[in-house]
């Protein structure tokens, strides 16, 4: 092949990037391209900022390899074809994604390539195992996690692709400017980019404590400890493809251990979304009873972390401060919204989507539906008790005091139940009574 255009989407890396690696191995010249698509911008200021940071980092890395990242704005299909014709490309490569929008984009791109006699190829790379690659004997996708995990852990994973040693760009096309870095909404949001993601991965795998064990080694015991904050925080980098999930799973090297099992949850929701692309809007489980309340005040209290239930409010405040929330807190806040307040999971999903750096359709929707009982949970009607969760996963109340400064002066586990404090103490706290008792 003479010249290939690689259209980046949310695979913003050079390590183990099959579309880029194959283009570099088979074409004399390669044109890395990103198209700023106005239809995707503006849903989350946090993610817009993370994306731009990731693009700047990718551009710097590609320049270091002798190439560049070309930036265009508009419809990705029209812009890719325009550039492909300008450089007389004979191939276009992309990483395959699962949402309605992405699949429509892929279909259109494939059709346009065919029309212009350009070879089109979609590559794996957004998950460890490609969605749809594993199917049960009686269906087109796995509906239950455990059998999927068994098949996933036992499957032959694709070989990792080597990063390109050098990229040869054709002369001619303008590289295009990256617009100024947009403001995010969360003051403590992590910064995007493959470089930052690899640093975090390295720390996560490599940082040994004085007993010679890494944070990964302790993950099984510590990942639910809210105050310990002992999870990898790799999710935003996986969301934007700054890290290859396959590389993370392989590098973790704990086979079917607890950390890799969590990565499998990610793949699980992708294969569900691949088979059921309406996951963000429609109950996945057929016959799920959906009788939600719509209460703007209650929703507002939940969103702003003023429900009067400290463990819920702590999670919601962390979300706004960091654009990220601990998984246990996500379970608690989502469970509270849907099972305690009885509000529609779609309203919770939308709020998470606005703030989360890692927010994406398969994982956000799959997890919301799981919690709400409309999704893949095999026990959809299980009860939910935020107080019990609080005492179990934040036994000393540290997580709550960290995120709810109004309660910083309340010692120990008493912070979880401010309504039990003596009246005089309670009166001095600028903190509301529990919403569900109002
Ligand atoms: P770690 O504990 O270090 O786990 C490693 C990786 O495994 C994560 O980075 C993530 O990619 C994956 N993972 C872990 N738990 C899950 C899970 N339950 N489902 C899918 N993948 C998982 N995750 C997202 O990536 N995007 C979302 O939009 C998202 N929305 C969620 C909404 C709700 C209501 C809930 C309950 C969970 C949601 N999750 C989502 C899953 C999970 O909370 C985050 O992936 C995790 O907290 C990220 O932190 P970490 O990287 O430190 O995770």
- pLDDT digits 0-9 by tens, 296-307: 999 999 999 999
Question: CATH 3.40.50.620 residue ranges in the chain?
Answer: 3-126
Give per-residue pLDDT as tens, 77-109. Answer: 999 999 999 999 999 999 999 999 999 999 999
Q: What is the pLDDT of residue 183?
A: 97
Instruction: Tell me the best of 148, 266, 360, 369 to mutate to test the pocket of ligand 1, counting ligand atoms within 8 Å of each CB and taking the most.
Output: 266
Q: For ligand 1, is residue 368 a contact (CB within 6 Å)? A: yes
pLDDT at 205 over 90: no
Distance of CA 197 to the CA centre of its chain: 13
The pLDDT-based confidence of 10 (bands split at 50, 70, 90) is very high
Strands 70-73 and 29-36: parallel
Question: CATH 1.10.579.10 residue ranges in the chain?
Answer: 296-437
pLDDT at 376 over 50: yes
Name the CATH architecture for the domain at 3-126. Answer: 3-Layer(aba) Sandwich (3.40)
Distance of CA 249 to the CA centre of its chain: 16
Indicate the average pLDDT of the chain: 95
Atom of ligand 1 nearest to the CA of 268: 20
pLDDT greater at residue 206 or residue 347: 347
The pLDDT-based confidence of 256 (bands split at 50, 70, 90) is low
Residue 330 Rama label (left phi>0; alpha psi -120 to 50; beta): alpha
Instruction: Tell me the best of 127, 197, 248, 358 to mutate to test the pocket of ligand 1, counting ligand atoms within 8 Å of each CB and taking the most.
Output: 358
Question: CATH 1.25.40.80 residue ranges in the chain?
Answer: 195-275
Q: What is the pLDDT of residue 255?
A: 61
Name the CATH architecture for the domain at 195-275. Answer: Alpha Horseshoe (1.25)
Q: Name the DSSP class of 390.
A: H
Name the CATH architecture for the domain at 296-437. Answer: Orthogonal Bundle (1.10)
Instruction: Tell me the best of 231, 337, 363, 368 to mutate to test the pocket of ligand 1, counting ligand atoms within 8 Å of each CB and taking the most.
Output: 363
**CA end-to-end span of the chain:** 68
Q: For ligand 1, is residue 367 a contact (CB within 6 Å)? A: yes
> Across residues 190-194, what is the average pLDDT?
98
Give per-residue pLDDT as tens, 52-73. Answer: 999 999 999 999 999 999 999 9
| 321 vs 186: CA distance, rounded Å | 5
Close Cβ partners of 427 (under 8 Å, ≥ 6 residues apart): none
The alpha carbon of 135 and the centre of ligand 1 are apart by a number of angstroms equal to 23
Q: Name the DSSP class of 406.
A: G
Give per-residue pLDDT as tens, 388-397. Answer: 999 999 999 9
Token pair for 47: 């993610």
Entry pTM: 0.97
Nearest residue (CA) to ligand 1, atom 46: 327
The alpha carbon of 172 and the centre of ligand 1 are apart by a number of angstroms equal to 43
Report the share of the chain in percent with pLDDT over 70: 98
């Amino acid at each position: 092949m003479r010249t290939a255009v690689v259209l980046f989407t949310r695979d913003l890396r050079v390590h183990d990037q099959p579309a880029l690696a194959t283009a570099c191995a088979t074409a004399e010249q390669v044109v890395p391209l990103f198209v700023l698509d106005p239809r995707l911008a503006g849903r989350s200021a946090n993610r817009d900022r993370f994306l731009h940071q990731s693009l700047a980092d990718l551009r710097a890395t590609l320049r270091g390899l002798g190439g560049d990242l070309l930036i265009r704005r508009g419809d990705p299909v029209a812009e890719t074809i325009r550039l492909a014709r300008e450089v007389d490309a004979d191939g276009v490569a992309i990483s395959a994604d699962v949402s309605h929008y992405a699949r429509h984009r892929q279909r259109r791109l494939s059709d346009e390539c065919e029309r212009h006699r350009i070879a089109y190829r979609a590559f794996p790379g957004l998950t460890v195992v490609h969605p749809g690659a594993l199917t049960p004997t009686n269906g087109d996708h796995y509906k239950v996690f455990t059998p999927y995990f068994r098949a996933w852990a036992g499957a032959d994973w694709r070989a990792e692709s080597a990063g390109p040693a050098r990229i040869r760009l054709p002369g001619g096309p303008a590289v295009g400017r990256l617009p100024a870095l947009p403001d995010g909404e969360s003051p403590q949001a992590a910064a995007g980019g493959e470089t930052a993601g690899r640093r975090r991965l390295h720390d996560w795998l490599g940082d040994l404590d004085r007993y010679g064990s890494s944070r990964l080694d302790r993950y099984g015991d510590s990942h639910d400890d809210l105050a310990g904050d002992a999870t990898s925080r790799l999710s935003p980098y996986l969301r934007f493809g700054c890290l290859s999930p396959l590389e993370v799973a392989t590098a973790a090297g704990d086979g079917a251990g607890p950390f890799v099992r969590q990565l499998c949850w990610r793949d699980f929701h992708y294969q569900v979304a691949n088979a059921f692309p309406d996951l963000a809007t429609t109950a996945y489980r057929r016959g799920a009873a959906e009788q939600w309340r719509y209460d703007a005040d209650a929703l507002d209290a939940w969103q702003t972390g003023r429900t009067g239930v400290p463990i819920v409010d702590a999670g919601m405040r962390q979300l706004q401060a960091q654009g990220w929330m601990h998984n246990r807190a996500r379970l608690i806040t989502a469970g509270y919204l849907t099972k305690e307040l009885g509000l529609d999971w779609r309203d919770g999903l939308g709020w998470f989507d606005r703030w989360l750096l890692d927010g994406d359709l398969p994982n956000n929707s799959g997890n919301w539906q799981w919690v709400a009982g409309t999704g893949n949970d095999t026990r959809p009607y299980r009860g939910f008790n935020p107080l019990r969760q609080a005492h179990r996963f934040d036994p000393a109340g540290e997580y709550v005091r960290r995120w709810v400064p109004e309660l910083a002066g309340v010692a120990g586990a008493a912070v979880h139940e401010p309504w039990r404090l003596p009246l005089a103490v309670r009166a001095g706290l600028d903190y509301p009574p529990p919403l569900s008792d109002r």
